[in-house]
């Protein structure tokens, strides 16, 4: 969410930013919110004037009532002043109601106006305009057939989609045996990887209040993603970023406590509205999964460098498991409204002969901090921190890249050296079928 003062002073810049995000339907909102803001400030000015007048009249009434004991004619003046106080009080009540209504309408609109994107963001309408920046590792297509990822898992008796369908419906799964263990090994390794980078490990709440949801994401994203608990002000988190950033709601953070560098584990729950292509069947796009996340809360001047470090952590993690990846800079039309800048880390799929998303690193500037009323207390006053997040590992999607890139011609799967301690020393998984 933008600062209303910034929008008031830079309306054309805000409109240009809206155009860059290909959201022309939102252009009238800028002038609308400016007009609402003008009316709100006028109401506040008049209300403050009435409050001052009320104080003056109250003093005047006290003096007149004292004088009326000696001069009865002063009683009429006192009654006249009381009538003014009553009239002012009625008008003040109207203005305070108007202020509340206008403030709510302004906030509602401001929540829909997109954040100002970074100059480095490429301009484009959708993800087809995302730009490949760099590749890491050699993308190899082996000389033997790579089966679909669930077919690989089934050779190890490692997945049961049919039973999950009977129990929970489409978009769920059972992971079994060695595949389930490999899933947990990836999470444990990702956790320790981030701890070694100096991040503090955290397990957050898996449900959050509606005001936290509003603070961390746009209404559009919320409707498309979040599951609400019926009859309660609670939502299942779609990622631990939601509850981790929500941890700082209404908080004043001492500047010496920055940066806050946290890595969190959680299950994640997503509606995943809409239809998806055949390559997203299996365990690629699902309603429930587990994830290790990284979150940073920092000084505004440090967020650009943290953004760079965070996506490079993802590259390092995947390369340590022998998985080739590339960095893809997200274009303006592919950015969620709160984001200043974002990039995807995509893993190589030798079966599809293309890359697919496994991590998303985002700098949200001060948007979440403003929505959540987070503040930092510095030497020269208070200010809004910047917030960033990035996926560390999100199995089972990561398992697709891991299995495909480590599959051997005989159907076995080589376990990367970094995962072997989490697999009891196992170096190779041998299929049962």
- Rounded average pLDDT over 45-74: 69
Predicted confidence at residue 84, as pLDDT, reads 75
Predicted confidence at residue 278, as pLDDT, reads 40
Predicted confidence at residue 53, as pLDDT, reads 76
Predicted confidence at residue 275, as pLDDT, reads 43
> How does residue 277 score in pLDDT terms, banded at 50, 70 and 90?
very low
Per-domain residue ranges of the chain: 4-110, 127-429
Over residues 166-223, the pLDDT tens digits come to: 999 888 999 999 999 999 999 999 999 999 999 999 999 999 999 999 999 987 778 7
In CATH, 4-110 is 1.10.287.40: yes
Considering only 129-138, 224-233, 250-259, 268-277, which range has the smallest mean pLDDT? Answer: 268-277
Considering the entire predicted model, what is its pTM? 0.89
SS3 for the chain is: CCCHHHHHHCHHHHHHHHHHCCCHHHHHHHHHHHHHHHHHHHHHHHHHHHHHHHHHHHHHHHHHHHHHCCCCCHHHHHHHHHHHHHHHHHHHHHHHHHHHHHHHHHHHHHCCCCCCCCCCCCCCCCHHHCEEEEEECCCCCCCCCCCCHHHHHHHCCCEEHHHHHHHCCCCCCEECHHHHHHHHHHHHHHHHHHHHCCCEEECCCCEECHHHHHHHCCHHHHHHHCEECCCCCCEECCCHHHHHHHCCCCCEEEHHHCCEEEEEEEEEECCCCCCCCHHHCCCCCCCEEEEEEEEEEECHHHHHHHHHHHHHHHHHHHHCCCCCEEEEECCHHHCCCCCCEEEEEEEEECCCCEEEEEEEEEECCCHHHHHHCCEEEECCEEECCEEEEEEEECCCHHHHHHHHHHECCCCCEECCCCCHHHHCCCCEECCCC
> How does residue 225 score in pLDDT terms, banded at 50, 70 and 90?
confident
Average per-residue pLDDT in the chain? 92
Predicted confidence at residue 68, as pLDDT, reads 60
**pLDDT at position 69 over 60:** no
Give percent of the chain above pLDDT 70.
91
Predicted confidence at residue 219, as pLDDT, reads 76
In CATH, 127-429 is 3.30.930.10: yes
Q: From CA 378, how far away is CA 252, in angstroms rounded?
A: 10
- Rounded average pLDDT over 365-389: 96
Of 286 and 421, the structure prediction assigns the larger pLDDT to 421
Predicted confidence at residue 48, as pLDDT, reads 86
Over residues 89-146, the pLDDT tens digits come to: 888 888 999 999 999 999 999 999 999 999 999 999 999 999 999 999 999 999 999 9
Give percent of the chain above pLDDT 90.
81
**pLDDT at position 76 over 80:** no
- Rounded average pLDDT over 385-406: 95
């Amino acid at each position: 969410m933008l600062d209303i003062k910034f929008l008031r002073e830079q309306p054309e810049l805000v409109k240009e930013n809206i155009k860059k995000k290909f959201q022309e339907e939102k252009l009238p909102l800028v002038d609308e919110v400016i007009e609402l803001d003008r009316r709100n400030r006028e109401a506040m000015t008049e209300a403050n004037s009435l409050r001052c007048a009320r104080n003056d009249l109250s003093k005047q009434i006290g003096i007149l009532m004292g004088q009326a004991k000696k001069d009865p004619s002063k009683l009429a003046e006192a009654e006249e002043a009381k009538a003014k106080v009553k009239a002012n009080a009625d008008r003040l009540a109207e203005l305070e109601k108007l202020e509340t209504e206008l403030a709510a309408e302004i906030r509602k609109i401001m929540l829909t106006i997109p954040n100002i994107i970074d100059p480095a963001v490429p301009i484009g309408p959708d993800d087809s305009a995302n730009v490949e920046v760099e590749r890491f590792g050699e993308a190899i297509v082996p000389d033997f057939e790579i089966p679909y990822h669930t077919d690989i898992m089934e050779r190890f008796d490692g997945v049961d989609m049919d039973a999950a369908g009977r129990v929970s419906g489409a978009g769920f799964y059972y992971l079994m045996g060695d595949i389930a263990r490999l899933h947990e090994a990836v999470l444990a390794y990702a956790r320790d990887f981030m701890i070694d980078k100096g991040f503090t490990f955290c397990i957050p709440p898996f449900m959050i209040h509606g005001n936290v949801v509003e603070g961390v994401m746009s209404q559009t994203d919320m409707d498309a993603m979040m599951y609400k608990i019926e009859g309660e002000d609670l939502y299942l988190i779609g990622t631990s970023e939601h509850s981790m950033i929500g941890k700082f709601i209404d908080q004043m953070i001492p500047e010496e406590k920055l940066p806050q560098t946290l890595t969190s584990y959680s299950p994640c729950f997503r509606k995943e509205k809409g239809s998806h292509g055949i390559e997203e069947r299996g365990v690629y796009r699902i309603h429930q999964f587990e994830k290790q996340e990284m979150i940073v809360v920092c000084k505004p001047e440090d967020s650009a460098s943290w953004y760079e470090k965070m996506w490079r952590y993802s590259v390092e993690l995947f390369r340590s498991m022998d998985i080739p990846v590339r960095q893809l800079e997200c274009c303006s039309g592919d950015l969620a409204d709160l984001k200043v800048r974002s990039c995807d880390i995509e893993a190589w799929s030798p079966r599809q002969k293309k890359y697919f998303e496994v991590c998303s690193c985002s700098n949200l500037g001060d948007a979440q901090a403003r929505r959540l009323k987070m503040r930092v207390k510095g030497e020269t006053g208070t200010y809004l921190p910047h917030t960033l997040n990035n996926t560390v590992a999100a199995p089972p999607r990561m398992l697709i890249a891991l299995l495909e890139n480590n599959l051997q011609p005989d159907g076995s799967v080589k376990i990367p050296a970094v995962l072997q301690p989490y697999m009891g020393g196992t170096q190779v998984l041998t299929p049962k079928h």
